[in-house]
Structures are given as C-alpha cells and as structure tokens.
C-alpha cells in the first residue's frame, strides 16, 4: 500500500531544525574558467604523455644534429677515437698507399717502394703524430660535411688525408728512405659514407637544426602540463616517467635501424666495417642520451611509486 510522502527532513526531526544545511557548491573565483570534468582531464593528460613519449627521441636527434654535428670541436672529438680503429686505419693505409704509389716512378724498384710505403703507413698509424694528423683532417672535413648536408654540394662524406700524407713524408725523409722526397703532398680524399638520396637527408637535417632548441623545451613543457592537468598527479608523474623511458627505447631502436639501413645501402667500394665505425662514432651521443633519458624516466616513475607506497603505510 502506498503511503503519502512525509514532511521534509528537518520537519521530521524538530531537534535538528535550523542545524541542517544542504552542501553548497564552492563559488568560482571571478573570471575563473569552469573546471574540466575528471574524465576530460585524465584523457588530456594521457594524450600529452603519449606526445612526450614520441617527442623524446625527436628532441634528442634535433639537439644532436644542431649541437653535435653542427659544432666543429664536437664533431672532431667524436671522430677522434676512429684514429685507433683497425678498419678505419686499413682504409687510410690502402687509400694513401694506392694514391702515392701511382705518383712515384721508382722504375724497377717500384714494388719495393710500394711495400715500403705500406709498411711505413701501417707503422705510422699507431703513433701520436698520426692521431694529430687525423684530427686535423677531420676538422678540415667538417666544413665539407656540413656543406654536403646544408648547401647540397656532393653526395658523400669524405676525409682529406693530405695532413696524414705530409706527416708520413716527413717521417720517411727523416729516416733516410729513398724516394721519400718525391712523395707529393696532394689531396687524397677517402670516402667513408655515401648516400643515394642525400636530398631527403638534407631536408631532414635542416628541420632538425631548426628544431634543435625549441623541441626539447616543448617536450619538457608538455610533460609538466600532463602532470598539472591530471586528476591524480602522482600517477601522472609515474605515467610520464614511463613515457619518457619508452621514448628513450624508441630512440635506441631508431639509431639501430638507421645503422642497418645505412650499411645495407653502401656502395661496393666502401668498407662496411669502416663505415659502421664512423656511424657509431657520430651517433655515440644519441646512444648515451638514450641511456640517460631511460634512467631519468624510470627514476621518476619509481620515485612516484615509492611515494605512493609510503603514504599508504599506516
């Protein structure tokens, strides 16, 4: 049987009359926008974290192209360890010996002179003077390297070995080697990398140089915004840290895949071991950055998780 509705809540309990007040909505500050619903804020935070994960490798590559490849000192420092690489040394010895033997006419002694040149170059390749000459050659090659990537002249990365030739000639003359004074100090270019479609690489390099400053800043701003708009900020910090770590993994994968593609497309006259050593030297910054970014992301996620566990502990 239906009963008629009773009186309002305060009327049924006279003792509470005047004490009961329904909760009132918190007034907004003058000019303040209405708050986002929780679902919208969570979705927006997730979208921003995804963008951060994608922008982390792009930011690292942009910074690398602008500050590492674009700077002569850093480029030379990156290439300097290759002076001790056996594959690169073999290319240098072969190219210089071949070029010099064709310019020295020793008559019936030509074979002995060629063998002597090769032995002298192999011995010279392990000396501090060779490293000095190698650094000088790479510093000179940096301008040509940037020219190939910016102005569109040439389709390969080459190193002029004239400083190495000059050092070898001086060593041989000082040792009293016959015909050493006839060695011409000419420009001998060693091709270490070549691209069939350098035009696309140039466009990408220009874009990365432009983005080298603002893209990392944008990534940090988006990460901070993703945390600020989240409903549960501790979880947002954890998710952002994992997103940054995922971006570091993407960076490492991109470096590895590009290495495989670069070496697979090499012409037959380029030693793949030497080209691989050059690629590894130029991308050493990216590999190190990937590990550092991975550590930062995982540390942030772990710190947020630990804070949550501590707060739950009674």
Q: Structural domain of residue 115, as residue ranges?
A: 85-199
| Phi and psi angles of residue 267, each rounded to the nearest 5 degrees, phi first | -65, 165
Using the 3D structure, point to which of 171, 199, 227 is the last residue of a domain: 199
Q: Identify the pLDDT of residue 294.
A: 97
DSSP string, 56-107: HHHHHHHHIIIIITT-HHHHHHHHGGGGG-HHHHHHHHHHHHHHHHTT---G
The closest of 9, 30, 31 to 18, measured between CA atoms, is 9
Using the 3D structure, point to which of 199, 229, 257 is the last residue of a domain: 199
Position 8 in a domain:
no
Q: Say whether pLDDT at 250 is over 80.
A: yes
Position 172 in a domain:
yes
pTM: 0.73
Question: How many CB atoms are located within 10 Å of the residue 185 CB?
Answer: 15
Position 148 in a domain:
yes
69: left (phi over 0), alpha (psi -120 to 50) or beta: alpha
Confidence tier at 255 by pLDDT (50, 70, 90): very high
Q: Are residues 171 and 137 in the same domain?
A: yes
- Given the structure tokens 């239906």, which residue do they identify? 2
Q: Are residues 109 and 182 in the same domain?
A: yes
Beta-bridge partners for 160: 189
Q: Identify the pLDDT of residue 215.
A: 92
CA–CA gap between residue 149 and residue 157 (Å, rounded):
9
| Mean local confidence (pLDDT), 230-257 | 94
Position 62 in a domain:
yes
Q: Say whether pLDDT at 57 is over 70.
A: yes
Position 208 in a domain:
no
Q: Identify the pLDDT of residue 238.
A: 95
Q: Are residues 111 and 186 in the same domain?
A: yes
Q: Say whether pLDDT at 106 is over 80.
A: no
Q: Are residues 182 and 150 in the same domain?
A: yes
DSSP string, 14-25: GGGTTT--PPPP
Question: How many CB atoms are located within 10 Å of the residue 158 CB?
Answer: 18
Position 71 in a domain:
no
The closest of 298, 303, 304 to 247, measured between CA atoms, is 298
- The total of structural domains in the chain comes to 2
Q: Are residues 266 and 190 in the same domain?
A: no
| Mean local confidence (pLDDT), 12-35 | 54
Highest averaged pLDDT of the listed ranges 70-79, 103-112, 120-129, 281-290: 281-290
Element (H, E) at 31: none
Position 19 in a domain:
no
Q: Identify the pLDDT of residue 285.
A: 94
The closest of 241, 266, 69 to 155, measured between CA atoms, is 266
Of the candidate ranges 113-127, 222-236, 264-278, the one whose mean pLDDT is the lowest: 113-127
Q: Are residues 151 and 249 in the same domain?
A: no
Q: Are residues 222 and 297 in the same domain?
A: yes
Q: Are residues 185 and 220 in the same domain?
A: no
Mean pLDDT taken over the chain? 79
Position 177 in a domain:
yes
Q: Identify the pLDDT of residue 146.
A: 77
């Amino acid at each position: 049987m239906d009963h008629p509705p009773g009186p309002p809540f305060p009327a049924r309990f006279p003792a509470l009359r005047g004490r009961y007040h329904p909760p009132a909505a918190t007034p907004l500050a003058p000019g303040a926008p209405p708050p986002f619903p929780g679902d919208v804020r969570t979705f927006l935070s997730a979208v921003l974290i995804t963008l951060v994960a994608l922008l982390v490798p792009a930011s690292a590559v942009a910074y690398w192209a602008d500050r590492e490849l674009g700077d002569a000192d850093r480029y030379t420092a990156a290439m300097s360890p290759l002076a001790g690489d056996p594959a690169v040394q073999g290319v240098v010895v072969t190219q210089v010996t071949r070029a010099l033997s064709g310019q020295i006419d020793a008559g019936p002694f030509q074979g002995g002179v060629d063998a002597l040149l090769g032995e002298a170059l192999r011995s010279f390749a392990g000396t501090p003077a060779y490293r000095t000459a190698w650094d000088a050659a790479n510093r000179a090659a940096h301008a040509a390297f940037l020219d190939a990537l910016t102005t569109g002249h040439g389709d390969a990365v080459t190193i002029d070995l004239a400083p190495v030739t000059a050092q070898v000639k001086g060593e041989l003359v000082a040792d009293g080697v016959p015909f050493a004074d006839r060695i011409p100090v000419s420009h001998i270019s060693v091709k270490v990398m070549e691209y069939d479609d350098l035009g696309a690489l140039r466009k990408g390099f220009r874009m990365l140089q432009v983005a080298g400053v603002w893209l990392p800043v944008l990534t940090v701003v988006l990460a901070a915004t993703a945390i600020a708009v989240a409903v549960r900020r501790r979880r947002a910090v954890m998710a952002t840290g994992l997103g940054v770590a995922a971006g570091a993994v993407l960076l490492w994968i991109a470096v590895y895949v590009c290495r495989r593609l670069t070496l697979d497309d090499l012409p037959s006259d380029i030693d793949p071991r030497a080209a691989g050593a050059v690629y590894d030297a130029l991308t050493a910054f990216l590999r190190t950055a990937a590990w550092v970014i991975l550590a930062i992301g995982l540390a942030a996620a772990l710190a947020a998780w630990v804070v949550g566990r501590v707060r739950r502990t009674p």
